[in-house]
Amino acid sequence: MFLSDINIAPYSLVEIDFYFYFNGLNNGERLSFGYYNGTSWNTIESYVIGSGFNNNTFYNATVVLTSAQYNFVSNSGFRFQCIASKKNEQIYIDQVTITGKTNAAAKANNVVELYSLTSETISSTKEEFVLYPNPVKENAITVNILGLEFFSYQILNISGQKLSHGTTEGNIDVSNLNSGIYFIKIHDGKEIRVKKFIKQ
Match domain 2-122 to its CATH number in 2.60.40, 3.30.1490, 2.40.128, 2.60.120.
2.60.120
Q: What is the pLDDT along the chain (200 residues), one digit of tens a residue?
A: 777 788 888 888 888 888 888 878 889 988 899 999 988 998 999 999 988 888 877 888 888 888 889 999 988 888 888 888 766 677 878 778 888 887 644 443 333 332 232 222 222 233 467 778 888 888 888 887 766 778 888 898 877 788 999 988 888 999 999 988 888 888 766 667 777 888 88
The residue ranges of every structural domain in the chain are 2-122, 126-199
Match domain 126-199 to its CATH number in 3.20.20.70, 2.60.40.10, 3.40.50.10490, 3.40.1410.10.
2.60.40.10
Q: Which amino acid is at 77?
A: G
Query: Taking the complete model, does pTM exceed 0.85, yes or no?
Result: no
Phi then psi dihedrals of residue 133, to 5 deg? -75, 155
